Amino acid sequence: MNSLYSVLIVQCQEDYNQFKATDLIYLELAKYSIGRHTDRDIVLLDRHVSRYHSTLVLLPSSPEEELPYYTIQDGDLLGKNSVNGTWLNGFRIQSPTKLNNEDVITFCQGYEYPRITFFIQPNLEDYESGTIPEEFQSN
């Protein structure tokens, strides 16, 4: 296991996804597919999310990057893009983009949910019990 710890906080309007309205995902794989189709690694059952909406990829460290890091890209790894786009911190991404701590990913312009917040090297002790930070609790 590398020294990079990453967590996703997935927030949905309803508990109708494979996740609760707010849930944690500890990233351990080199690739995660996100979409509405049930064969995706992260399934978001929302009409604004394409069946094969976006992909997270772990890239190795390099001279420019001391640690491995995740990128997100719209669509799948074969180049098929989503219908509504993948949005990072309010801007539509056009190419694979490095994820930084507390980046917010959304799946359609103008819609706040579903959304995913990305954390790099969080204080894992805060998450050991499966609790979610107060600022991410559903209302």
- Tens-level pLDDT at each residue, the chain (139 residues): 344 578 888 877 765 555 556 778 889 899 999 999 999 999 888 889 999 999 999 998 888 877 788 999 999 999 899 999 999 999 999 999 999 989 999 998 888 888 899 988 655 555 444 455 565 554 4
Helix segments in the chain, DSSP class H: none
Q: Is the dihedral of CA 49, 54, 117, 100 positive or negative?
A: negative
Other residues' Cβ atoms within 10 Å of the Cβ of residue 34: 27
Extended beta strands in 52-135, E state: 54-59, 69-74, 87-88, 91-92, 97-98, 103-106, 115-120
pLDDT of res. 57: 95
Topology of domain 6-136, per CATH?
Answer: Tumour Suppressor Smad4 (2.60.200)
pLDDT of res. 138: 47
Distance CA 118, CA 104 (A): 7
pTM of the model: 0.80
pLDDT of res. 86: 96
Distance CA 4, CA 10 (A): 19
Distance CA 91, CA 50 (A): 18
Q: Amino acid letter at 109?
A: Q
Domain boundaries, the chain: 6-136
pLDDT of res. 20: 54
Distance CA 52, CA 64 (A): 30
pLDDT of res. 34: 95
Distance CA 27, CA 139 (A): 26
pLDDT of res. 119: 86
